[in-house]
Structure formats: structure tokens, C-alpha cells
Structure 1
Amino acid sequence: MPTTCAVVKCHNRSGRDKVSFYRIPVVMKGQGEATERKSECCRRLWLAAINRADVDEKTCNQLRVCSDHFISGARNKYDETNPDWVPNKNLGYDAKSPTKSAIRHERLQNRKQTIKMNEAAISVFGF
């Protein structure tokens, strides 16, 4: 049975489309309270981002979200400050504005690019 994306109005399917699919995070137990809280928060945010009324605990474990719903095209499992920690693009409903974490991430990427350009200029011109 082919995997389809759980996001409303997304018709990506495995085998037909060149996208990756990611499971909805599970709550990790037995690895400490901090890990359990972090994984619980991540799962709650994913379900809020998908925003489907027909999802319950049984069906949630079978849902997948495709890479089209992440800014970089891939999920980031470990960094809570990265906007790709939660799906946030093309979610099938109108988003009001970009999230604060997406704006911060974009600023960080711009800073890194500026630093690289400055280092390249220094190495070329010897300043």
C-alpha cells in the first residue's frame, strides 16, 4: 500500500513522487523526563501543524508527512530552534505569518552567508 501525505490538499505519494516521508514523532518514554517532555511537545506541535480533525491516537501512528512541508526539504529531529523541527510549509490552510523560529532561522542563515563572504574577501584581498 503506498504512503500518502497526511497534510490536507497534499497529494504526494510514495513511488510516484520524489519526496521523503516522515512519521509523526512518538512520545519517548524511559529515556528521562526531559526527553519525554521534548518528544511530547514535538508530537503536539506536529499534530497542531497538520490540523486535521479526524486524527486520533490509533490513526496518528500511521500518518506520514512529506518533505514538501519543510523549509529545507527534510525534518530536523534534534534542534528545537530549527524551523524544520515541525512541518511549517504548504500545510493546506492559510498561514497567518511566518513563525518566529522561521524568521530567526532565516536571519541566522543570512549571518552565516555574510561571514563566509567576508572571510572570502579577506583571503582574496589580504585585509
Structure 2
Amino acid sequence: MTTSSALQTALAYHRAWTSHDFERASSFLAADLVCAAPSGQITGLADFRAFMEPFSQIMTSSQLLAAFGDDDTALLMYDTTTIPVPHAPAAELYTVVDGQITHVRIIFDRAPFDAARAAAADHPAS
């Protein structure tokens, strides 16, 4: 089985950030990366890292559910377990140019995280 170049890059990036190695993950990201996320557009590697790295730190495990790609695009679907939320499924669509992710569209449900924050606010730790 042959894996497309975009899919290889997306999988390497995914393996790196889900193992909490954001230095390695960043090596697959273009400096001028553009990300479309539920919270809005994020432009540039520094801002994307500021968005994504904190999530990677609260993630305790990740299960890859599906991965597809061609020479220019890749799509990964996965489910993560995080400290506040037991199931946080997501999908990411990547555009890859010369081995670098230049665009990523992230789709996930923010509602469980909002509910977890609200519950924590209602019952602060002693």
C-alpha cells in the first residue's frame, strides 16, 4: 500500500503533537500556516502553536479513526481523551506543499469543553 505524500506529512504531524512533542510537530508546519478553527482564523506558526499546544497538553490519549489523502491534501479523523472531556472527536483537513502543512481546517465540537468549563466554575476546587 502506498501512502500519499500529503498523508505521510499529516500523519507525522499528528503523531508528533499527540505524543506531546510540539517541537517536532512544528517542523511539519509552514511559517505562514493558515488555520480555520471553530474559534476563527489563525494565521502564522506562532499563533497556531499558541492555539494548539495547550490542547496537546490536556490531551491524555488519541485514537486515529480514519486517514485519507492524495499528493496535496489529507484528512484525519480522530478521538482524543482530555483532562476535562473524555471524548473529543475532531477532523482535520490539511493542505500540504513541499512537505509542509500550509493550511489546516479543524472541526470539533466545542460544547463539551464549554460544559466542562461551566461545571468547573460552578464547583471550584477547594
TM-score in same-fold range (> 0.5): no
Higher helix share: 1
The structure number with the bigger radius of gyration is 1
Larger strand share, 1 or 2: 2
TM-score normalized by structure 2? 0.29
